[in-house]
Structure 1
Amino acid sequence: MQIQWFRIIFIIFFSSCCAVAQSADSDPLASWNDGQTKSAIIGFVQKVTDKGSKDFVPPAERVATFDNDGTLWAEQPVYFQALYALERIRQMAPDHPDWKTTEPFKSAIDGDVKGLMANGMEGVMKVLLTAHADVTAEAFQDSVTDWFATAKHPTKNRAFTQMVYQPMLELLVYLRANGFKTYIVSGGGVDFIRVFAEDTYGIPPEQVMGTTSDAKFEMRDGVPEIVKTGNIILVDDKEGKPVGIYRQIGRRPIMAVGNSDGDLQMLQYTTIPRSEEDQVPRLGVLLHHTDSDREWAYDRQSHIGQLDKALDEAPERGWVVIDMKQDWSRVFPEGS
């Protein structure tokens, strides 16, 4: 009798575990609320991976591109790479005493983001390029790694790698599980993003595209080194994104995900048919920041991540617009 009860308890326990596992496996986008947005994404993936479907796309052609800032992780109140550059300028300042009275470096040294922005994009770019130039690739990687180890978001007080979006992490995993190759196509610096992309997103360095500065080869003390320069060879934003995709991937994506007008051309390039014969199913996705409680709410008038033209074009193109507040049950990996 005792053995029989033990068998019954074991069966109940085992069945419960299987039910929990099955429930988890059946919902690959667990942090996404049920609704049209989630259904549209899952429906797209299902039809392009179904060999019996007329919309089937071979694995080699399943390319998905993602913007980074504001799409895979947060971007307010200022791009995170800019915060790294400010710290880097402060570290370099003792060797440049004239910076204390020279803009835009004075604002950078003082940590005055508003003052830095007052110098316009030219001033911001000058700071970014100076912080990233005349350094070996290895030294730059070490510098960024060290910064990530201690730096905290200025208002959320959490590590920057914890400012990633949990629903997007799930989407990346879901796509790769279904034969997609996922790429980052960002306006941010490619060398900066490559430092953390693999550990954070599961995206290896060779699948990261970003704004790119020139580099040169040197022998330093008998050691071969790649040295970064301050000469930009690709601004991977707006029209630059399709160009970067063409150069590095050599395939047109069938899915593109962004959050701003800086991603407009990437979504156009991905989704607009080239001819009547072009019947390959394609999906454009925009993340609309609508959650002022858990993150930030901004779009048309924002100084960062402005979403205006792309938001207007979305209905015409059939792009999916993610409403962060409505569509996501969770934003960050930890907490809300």
Structure 2
Amino acid sequence: MGSQILPSWNDGAARAAIMDFVGRVTKEGGPDYVRPAERIATFDNDGTLWCEQPLQVQFFFARERLDAMVEKDPSLKDRPPFKAFVDRDMEAIKAQGKKALMTVAAAVHAGTTEDEFYVIAEEWLARGKHPTLGRLFTQLTYRPQVELLDYLRANGFRTFIVSGGGIDLIRAFAETAYGIPREQVVGSSNKTRFELVDGRASLVKLAELGSFDDREVKPANINLHIGRRPILAFGNSDGDLAMMRYALGNRGPSLALLLHHDDADREFAYDREFVLSPLAEALDKAADYGITVVSMKRDWKAVFTSDP
């Protein structure tokens, strides 16, 4: 029975910690029992549920839309923060940070309704490919994480994505890829305006970032959108640290997991040098904070859902 649970995870401290935690919180009458309504698990998306190298998928999606905008308005070539993206200047993009990426994403989708955006996103996701791995981005979700999401739901957990990525792009594929419905996705978002379009009420995206869901904003948005503190949180960078510590702040049992990308052979090896989403404090102080580190190289038998 045990070998059939989380089959893409190697036996080790991380897998044991997960199974022990789930066993304790679901044992009725036990000292650590947590009723199903409070079994909330939150997962970051980029770098936690799917590949984020060499840049987050949002970059490739927004860049294509930006290229189309530049054809109509060439002056964008010389305006920050667009110039770095138009020039494909990776160092400048990284130096500007993840918030600049989301600001560009907000600008290039301005004027579209929520329904139009989903059509655009789903069409792009059906063909968008990783620049070096040659597979669709949607084929680069992590198999061990999909197994973990299924395992948690089978044990009465509700699973949420809480990501710095764009909320609507994630909602366009989360249910198919992870079994997580749209209403259980929290992420960065545009400001919107209510309009009647051809007599139909719609929300139209504005060229302004509404919420940048990173670092300390994650717990705030968890409280705003979910209304319950998670008892399990899984991230992969310092941008997720506040969310992980928020989960560990429970008065009852809790588990925080940190994915370390240390497998250059099967994926990518990186941590503190990834400027857009570095991993430094969370890794250095994991033991002090009570965070369980998951090594991609050591703890996962397989990486991608599309692997043989």
What's the TM-score bracket when you normalise by the shorter of the two chains?
Answer: over 0.9
CA contact (8 A) 2:113 2:204 kept: yes
Matched, 1:180 2:141: no
Q: List runs of 5+ in structure 2 lacking aligned partners.
A: none
> Alpha carbon RMSD of aligned pairs, Å?
1.8
1:228-280 Cα distance to aligned partner (Å, 9 max, x none):
1123332110000000000011111100000000011101111025xxxx3x1
1:16-54 Cα distance to aligned partner (Å, 9 max, x none):
xxxxxxx5x852200000111111101100110011311
CA contact (8 A) 2:97 2:275 kept: no
Cα shift at 1:104: 4.1
Cα shift at 1:106: 4.3
Alignment partner of 1:266: what SS? helix
Pairs within 5 Å for 1:210-249 = 210-249=187-226
Provide the residue aligned with 1:290 in structure 2. Answer: 262
Provide the residue aligned with 1:303 in structure 2. Answer: 275
Return the alpha-carbon distance in structure 2 between the equivalents of residues 250 and 124 of structure 1. 28
Provide the residue aligned with 2:297 in structure 1. Answer: 325
CA contact (8 A) 1:86 1:111 kept: no
| TM-score, scaled relative to structure 2 | 0.94
In structure 2, the CA distance between the partners of 1:174 and 1:92, relative to structure 1 (3 Å rule), is: same
Q: Please, which of 217, 224, 244 is the counterpart of residue 267 of structure 1?
A: 244
Return the alpha-carbon distance in structure 2 between the equivalents of residues 68 and 309 of structure 1. 19
Cα shift at 1:317: 2.6
Instruction: Report the structure number with the largest CA radius of gyration.
Output: 1
Aligned residues: 308
| TM-score, scaled relative to structure 1 | 0.87
Percent identity reads 49
Return the alpha-carbon distance in structure 2 between the equivalents of residues 118 and 261 of structure 1. 17
Alignment partner of 2:126: what SS? helix
Q: List runs of 5+ in structure 1 lacking aligned partners.
A: 1-22
Q: Please, which of 65, 73, 81 is the counterpart of residue 42 of structure 2?
A: 65
Cα shift at 1:88: 0.6
Provide the residue aligned with 2:179 in structure 1. Answer: 202
CA contact (8 A) 2:94 2:276 kept: no
In structure 2, the CA distance between the partners of 1:325 and 1:133, relative to structure 1 (3 Å rule), is: same
In structure 2, the CA distance between the partners of 1:217 and 1:92, relative to structure 1 (3 Å rule), is: same
Q: Please, which of 75, 86, 91 is the counterpart of residue 52 of structure 2?
A: 75
Return the alpha-carbon distance in structure 1 between the equivalents of residues 24 and 150 of structure 2. 18
Q: Please, which of 40, 43, 46 is the counterpart of residue 20 of structure 2?
A: 43
- What amino acid sits opposite 2:20 in the alignment? G
